[in-house]
């Protein structure tokens, strides 16, 4: 599990995309002794995350959602290829949510910054 703070929706998506590539690389490197189990899924987890990182139209949608105060995620499921826990199905999820920050005005009143 990894976390970070990002100043903008673009920064958040950049970080999530790097994590997606990192996860895809780890899963590709895992021994593929469960090829039969992978066939029940529409696409292997590494493929799902790599395709997500190259979808520029969906990136714009997710950036807009974050800017509007909505959480976003990319998810894929498949057999456990990291811990090797037998016939366990794993949900891999990369997510971001905006954090509302108070903005102080010069005379003590405040508002919420929806960035």
Q: What is the pLDDT along the chain (115 residues), one digit of tens a residue?
A: 788 999 999 999 999 999 999 999 988 876 555 555 555 666 888 999 999 999 999 999 999 999 999 999 999 988 776 666 557 788 899 999 998 777 666 765 555 555 5
Sign of CA pseudo-dihedral 87, 26, 62, 38: negative
Whole-structure pTM value: 0.74
Question: Please, how many CA atoms are within 13 Å of residue 95, restricted to the half-sphere of its CB?
Answer: 11
């Amino acid at each position: 599990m990894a976390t970070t703070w990002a100043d903008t929706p673009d920064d958040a998506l950049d970080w999530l995309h790097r994590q997606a590539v990192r996860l895809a690389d780890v899963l590709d490197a895992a021994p593929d002794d469960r090829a039969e189990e992978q066939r029940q899924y529409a696409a292997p987890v590494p493929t799902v995350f790599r395709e997500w990182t190259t979808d520029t139209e969906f990136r714009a949608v997710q950036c807009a959602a974050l800017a509007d105060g909505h959480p976003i995620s990319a998810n894929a499921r498949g057999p456990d290829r990291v811990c090797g826990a037998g016939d366990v199905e794993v949900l891999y999820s990369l997510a971001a949510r905006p954090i509302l920050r108070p903005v102080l005005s010069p005379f003590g009143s405040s508002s919420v910054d929806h960035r």
